[in-house]
Amino acid sequence: MSYAIVGFGKIGQALAHAFARNNIDVTVASRRSPEALAPQARAIGPNVVAKSLREALAADTIFLAVPFEEHREIAKALPSWQGKTVIDTMNTLAPPAELDGLPSSGFVAKAFTGARLVKGFNHLIAAKLAADPVVEGGHRVVFLSGDDEDATAPVAALAKQLGFAPVKLGKLNEGGALVQGRGGTWGRLIFQDLFKKEQ
C-alpha cells in the first residue's frame, strides 16, 4: 500500500510527522515544487519524500490536506480516481446551500469520481495531530466515517499503525456529521481530544 499527502500546510506536515515517527514511507506534494518542499520534508524524516502532484497521485491512499476551496482543482488532476482511497482531512463552514445540501465530505466525494472517500484525521488541531498519539497507555482517538466499509477498514488499520485509536462513526451523513462543519457551526466531536485505553 502506498501513501501520499496532498497539501503541506500545518495538517499535511502533522500527518507527515506521524508517518515519520512510525517509519512508514509517504510522498508529500503541494502547489509548491518538490524542490521547495524537500528541505521541510527531509527535516521531518527520511521516510517523507517530496514529489510532484502527479507522482503523489500515483499512491493508493491519498490524504487530502488542502484548503477546502482547492479540492476541485486536485480532483481534476486525474481523469479517474477508480481504485484510490481518498482521506478527507478538510473542514469548511460553508452553508449547506453551497454544498448542494450535502455533508462537506459528500460534496467532496462528488468531485473525486470513482474514489472511495473516508472522512478522517480532521477533528484535531495540527499541533495535537503532530504530537505522539501514545500517552500513558492510551492512544489518541481519530474519528473515521465513510459510506464504504471496504475503504474505512484499511484506513482504520493505517490509523492504528500510526499509533492512533480509530473510532468509526458510520456513514458520512450519519455519524460523519458529528465531525463536520455545517453552515457556521462545528459538529459536536470537532476538537474533542480523546484517548482510548488498550482493551
Residue whose cell numbers read 491519498: 62
116 in helix, strand or coil? Answer: strand
Give buried/exposed letters for 144-165 (b at 16+ CB in 10 A, else e).
Answer: bbbbeeebbeebbebbeebbbb
The full DSSP string for 80-110 is --TT-EEEE-------GGGGTTS-HHHHHHH
Residue 135 has what pLDDT?
87
Residue 194 has what pLDDT?
93
Answer whether 103's CB lies under 8 Å from 173's CB: yes
Residue 159 has what pLDDT?
98
Could you tell me the maximum CA-CA distance found in the chain, to the nearest angstrom?
Answer: 46
In order along the chain (199 residues), what is the average pLDDT of each group of 10 residues? 97 98 98 96 98 97 97 96 97 91 93 96 96 92 95 97 96 89 87 85
Q: Which residues contact 136 (CB under 8 A, 6 or more apart)?
A: none
**What span, in angstroms and rounded, lies between the C-alpha atoms of 90 and 82?**
21
Residue type at 7 in one-letter notation: G
Residue 152 has what pLDDT?
96
Residue 37 has what pLDDT?
97
Q: DSSP code of 178?
A: G
